[in-house]
Amino acid sequence: MNDLYPIYKIEKLKADFDSYIESQNSYISEEKIRSGYINKLLEILGWNISNPNEVVEELILQGLAEDKLNFINSKHRRPDYLLCKDGIGRLFIEAKSSDVNFKDSYEIAFQIRSYSWSKGLPIGIVTNFREFCVYDTSFEPHINQDPQYRTILFTIDDLINEYDRYSRYLSKNFIYNSFSDLEYLFSDKKVGNLYRTLDESFFILLDRFRVKLGEGIYKNTPDISNTKLNYYVQIIINRILFIRILEDLNIEVRGTLYSFLSCKNFWVEFVDKANTDYYEKYDGAIFSEVLPAFKLDNALFEDFIQAITIDSPYRFDVIKSEFLAEIYDVFLGKQLCINDGVVTSLFSALSPEGTVPTPSVLSKYICDKTILLDNVTKLKELFDIKILDPCVGSGTFILSSMDKLVEKYKAITNYKTVTVEDVKLIIQNCLYGIDINLTALEVLKMTIALKLVTSGYVITEPFKQILSNISQNFCLGNTIVDELAQLPTEELIDQIPTNIEALFPDVMKSGGFSYLVTNPPYVEPKHFKKLWPETWKYLKENYNLSDKLDLSMFFVKRFYCLLAQNGRAGFIIQKRFFKTKYGAAIREFLKENGCLTEIHEFQANKLFKSRLTYIACLISDMDRVKESVEYYYHSGEVNKERNNIEDILLDESKMVIVDNDNLDKSNWSYKEFFFFDKWCKGEHLIELKDIGNINIGVGPQVLDSKFYFLSKIDQISDNLIRCKNRRDEEVIIETGLLKPLYRNEHPQPFLIDEQFSVFILFPYDKFGKLIPLESIKVNYPYGYKYLNHIDLYSKTARVDNKNEFYRYTRETKLNSFARPKVFVPMTGRNVIASFTSGCVFGDNSNISTIMDQNDDEQYLKALCVILNSEIFNSFAYIYAAEASDGYLKMNKQFLEKVPIPKLKYEDINLLASNFDEIIKSIELLKGSVGDKFIYHRNRLDKILESINRKINYLYKISEEDIRFIRLLIEEGL
């Protein structure tokens, strides 16, 4: 639309406003401001006021509801408008009458900031049509903050005169398409330490209260166990928070919780209310458990209750239950522990860095892909559906599944609204979950209860046990450890071996679950093995998987045993197994299983907040064996506001069909499958691992790098140097015991820099045979002294022979020092290959070493030229594993998969001569300055360009293909 048209319409609307306000003695009511001007302004700016998926207008409370809020002196009211994109809130707008000085009002600023911050929105707006105030709402608000702190003020005249500048705060087009740009509006003003998102702030608040409450209960009951302490604390927090949320929803009288603090004892008053009124109203998941008779002081509750009631920034009437479930997932990553009489909150043993919640938008996407309800036309068919989350946690997938089932229920019945009782029937008949964490199940009950009361479902009054019978399908258990597992008593306590057939007998007898949706726990083997070694042994033997695979892989193999014959599964998985050797078994299993229908790979590694993750989603259908799989690649990175995740998920434009038979023949990668199908097939190509005379390995693995790596070399004499080890200890040692080390430090293509800065202690002869200690004592007295120093202070495990304590524990290719080789750094932005005739080792930790079994220097030079070529780098980009900051992992298991042309004798000689020509040009370039330098640099560029064309010819790739490949890589394929 031409910008002149809306400006013209706004000018007319402003003229009408000016005329009306003059006739009303400069006063216009809030209601008239809304209906007569803001509504019309929003329509001019593209919004459909009558479409609730675009604009939600807050109801004006009248009559009894208004009287109730006034009676308790409540200032609690949502802003007048919520502008939405596809029903998802994007911007709150609050309208005020013409006589209100909102720009200087602490109360109004706190209201709009609190609601917008609670909903995770970057800005909020207050207006009386004549003036507009845009508030930064990205930080935690407080009642005493300056009303004009981090605000942008403009008038209706400013909107007309500088339309492009100011319309972006309100126009539908900008908010739909450029909403993430709003984060930069206040970039010139620093927030300092105030910046804290809702989930971060609320987690800190809950965690502090958890510790304080735990300390009070422990003081009252000093013999309580860690498990019971966490369990009871969680129940108490759930109950308090549940009632507080109901207050904001006007289901319970707002201020009730706070009023208990002024009574003789908060805890006594709350328990009395919970055991009578709350139990009668709600029962079920929240209030059925009878707690021990704890004696708890007011001081334990004061800070928490005040933080969530009086002038609280938390507006629970706009905080979705799904969002609270995500916060609770983080909460479950820590637990209370009693150590030496002190209660602390620690990360769980299996999550030393804490847990990260599954974004609700991601769980919804997986449920939409997995749970197919188009053919369900009757309520009986709907209630026959059985959905399981076998790692249920706080219930993110359960809530997404519930939403789908409720929508289908409404479609079948033609009901516009449903009752809580209707939804309870869906929960009781269709939704199931298992979790090994008792506290998690309490959180799940809370999540489901909140979903029931916050989703607009009709609740019949008077309330009577409206939450009863909603938790019987959610059970304590271990999905992957069967009850027949023979485990020691100390491991049984934590592992809870489970007979799933006994947990859900009716479902399993009828064949299994219709759908399974989940995010299985990712736990590194080292953490699990340390805590439960016998359980780990059981898992390896029972599931026949590698010792290096994380815990989630065992869940994957178990999932398919729980599904009905026509069941479907959709789950998140760490994609490390896509490309690793130790992941081959699980790839083979999924291929042989034949049920995969879709693989979704994500470029973004920040889908989960505050954690780098490399994930994918797998969708399976048990109905029949699939001949092919749809492999999707979701490109795009998550923006700072995290409001583009849905766009990333829904972009399915990049897809390739993969034959099921190829799933075990290649690494899993969209790039790899795509490139393989177009360019990597053919008899003229061969993978590096299939070249018989070539070996890809690494340099020596020293005994203890803290002692064996030496740097800061200072030559004392022809055969003696002074240096330092990694413990920063000074060492004097003979040069005959040292070998130079080529490291991944500013590597250059083709030729290595022989000014080595690091050496390794190498107590072997030229044949790789260990030099006897007595010989070292005689011929290398300084070295002998240093070895004894190592023996005394190194904690690294040694060989059994005490006289050979200095022997490397892994002795491979120790005789390769003087042999020709090609070095390739394992991590980098591109492949950099360097040839050397010998007399250097590659660093075991970050350099791959390629050697020819016949020490054919001509072949190695030719190979070095190919490895540095543009087309090889393009393929390497496809086959490599991802690292952070744009770097790629190119160690052996990835490098050996990259195809190169099969070389004839004349090809080898030609490329080797090209290598020699390149080296000469590099040497000339190094010795040049000024115009000569420019000349030799241009000459070298031409030589490399010519060689690249030759190599493209060997690959049988055209110039058009090269241009297309460049474009794909630039676009981040």
Beta bridge partner(s), residue 432: 388
The dihedral region occupied by 811, where left means phi > 0, alpha psi between -120 and 50, and beta the remainder, is beta
Q: What is the pLDDT of residue 351?
A: 60
CB atoms inside a 10 Å sphere around CB 259: 14
Is 194's pLDDT higher than 70? no
Q: What is the pLDDT of residue 182?
A: 56
Q: Is the domain of 188 the same as that of 204?
A: no
876 with 887: CB under 8 angstroms? no
What is the Cα gyration radius of the chain? 34
The range of the structural domain enclosing residue 27 comes to 4-193
Q: Is the domain of 167 the same as that of 203?
A: no
Q: Is the domain of 168 the same as that of 262?
A: no
Q: Tell me the mean pLDDT in the region 561-575.
A: 94
3-state secondary structure 789-843: HHHHHCCCCCCCCHHHCCCCCECCCCCCCCCCEEEEECEECCCCCEEECCCCEEC
Q: Is the domain of 208 the same as that of 333?
A: yes
CATH code for position 26: 3.90.1570.30
CB atoms inside a 10 Å sphere around CB 23: 9
Residue 790 falls within a domain, yes or no? no
Q: What is the pLDDT of residue 2?
A: 53
Query: Strand 131-136 to strand 123-127: parallel, antiparallel, or no bridges (unpaired)?
Result: antiparallel
Can you say how many angstroms the Cα of residue 833 is from the centroid of all Cα atoms in its chain? 34
Where helices occur in 469-524 by DSSP H, the ranges are 489-495, 500-503, 505-509
Residue 923 falls within a domain, yes or no? no
Q: What is the pLDDT of residue 347?
A: 80
Tokens of 437: 């964490």
Name the residue type at position 210.
Answer: R
Residue 412 falls within a domain, yes or no? no
Q: Is the domain of 595 the same as that of 535?
A: yes
pLDDT digit string, tens, across residues 241-287: 999 999 998 888 889 999 999 888 999 999 999 888 888 888 766 78
Average pLDDT for the chain: 88
Residue 654 falls within a domain, yes or no? yes
Q: Is the domain of 179 the same as that of 214?
A: no
Is 68's pLDDT higher than 60? no
Tokens of 791: 């023996």
Q: What is the pLDDT of residue 899?
A: 86
Sign, CA dihedral 692-696-702-704, equals negative
Residue 787 falls within a domain, yes or no? no
Q: Compute the half-sphere exposure of residue 212: CA atoms within 13 Å on the CB side of its CA.
A: 17
Q: Compute the half-sphere exposure of residue 827: CA atoms within 13 Å on the CB side of its CA.
A: 13
Instruction: Identify the DSSP state of 94.
Output: E
Say whether 927 sits in a helix, a strand or coil: coil
Is 864's pLDDT higher than 80? yes
Name the residue type at position 414.
Answer: N
Confidence of residue 350 (pLDDT cuts 50, 70, 90): low
Is 426's pLDDT higher than 60? yes
Instruction: Write out the E strands in 463-580.
Output: 474-476, 478-482, 497-498, 513-518, 563-574
pLDDT digit string, tens, across residues 112-121: 999 999 988 8
Domain end among 678, 700, 721? 678
pLDDT digit string, tens, across residues 670-726: 877 877 667 767 788 888 888 989 999 888 888 889 999 999 889 899 899 999 999
Tokens of 784: 């002998």
Query: What is the DSSP track for 866-881?
Result: HHTSHHHHHHHHHHSE
Say whether 714 sits in a helix, a strand or coil: strand
Q: Tell me the mean pLDDT in the region 77-106.
A: 91
Instruction: Write out the E strands in 827-908.
Output: 827-828, 834-836, 841-842, 847-852, 881-882, 888-889, 899-901
Tokens of 188: 């010139």
Q: Is the domain of 178 the same as that of 205?
A: no
Q: Is the domain of 225 the same as that of 204?
A: yes
Tokens of 749: 């293509």
Confidence of residue 179 (pLDDT cuts 50, 70, 90): low
Residue 855 falls within a domain, yes or no? no
H-helix or E-strand containing 5? helix 4-23
Q: What is the pLDDT of residue 391?
A: 94
With tokens 């809030």, the residue in question is 30
Q: Is the domain of 179 the same as that of 44?
A: yes
Query: Strand 750-751 to strand 628-634: parallel, antiparallel, or no bridges (unpaired)?
Result: unpaired
Separation between Cα atoms, residue 594 and residue 145, nearest integer Å: 60
Q: Is the domain of 138 the same as that of 118?
A: yes
With tokens 């995010």, the residue in question is 519
Instruction: Identify the DSSP state of 772.
Output: P
Separation between Cα atoms, residue 713 and residue 760, nearest integer Å: 12
3-state secondary structure 649-669: HHCCCCEEEEEHHHCCCCCCC
Residue 800 falls within a domain, yes or no? no
Q: What is the pLDDT of residue 774?
A: 94
Tokens of 591: 């291929």
Closest CA to 658 of 603, 577, 601: 601
Q: Is the domain of 203 the same as that of 185?
A: no
Confidence of residue 183 (pLDDT cuts 50, 70, 90): low
Q: Treating both helix axes as pointing N-terminal to C-terminal, what angle do 226-248 and 438-454 enclose, rounded to 10 degrees?
A: 10
Tokens of 618: 């797998």
pLDDT digit string, tens, across residues 742-794: 988 888 899 887 788 899 999 999 999 999 999 999 999 999 999 999 999 99
Domain end among 678, 695, 716? 678
Q: Is the domain of 572 the same as that of 658?
A: yes
Say whether 224 sits in a helix, a strand or coil: coil
Confidence of residue 815 (pLDDT cuts 50, 70, 90): confident
Q: What is the pLDDT of residue 390?
A: 97
Q: What is the pLDDT of residue 811?
A: 85
Q: What is the pLDDT of residue 3?
A: 65
Q: What is the pLDDT of residue 1?
A: 46
Give, in order, the Cα–Cα distances in Å from 437 to each of 40, 348, 674.
53, 11, 42
Separation between Cα atoms, residue 66 and residue 532, nearest integer Å: 58
125 with 132: CB under 8 angstroms? yes
Number of structural domains in the chain: 3
Residue 841 falls within a domain, yes or no? no
Is 192's pLDDT higher than 70? no
Domain end among 347, 369, 388? 347
Q: Tell me the mean pLDDT in the region 10-24.
A: 92
The dihedral region occupied by 63, where left means phi > 0, alpha psi between -120 and 50, and beta the remainder, is left
pTM summary value: 0.71
pLDDT digit string, tens, across residues 626-639: 789 999 999 888 88
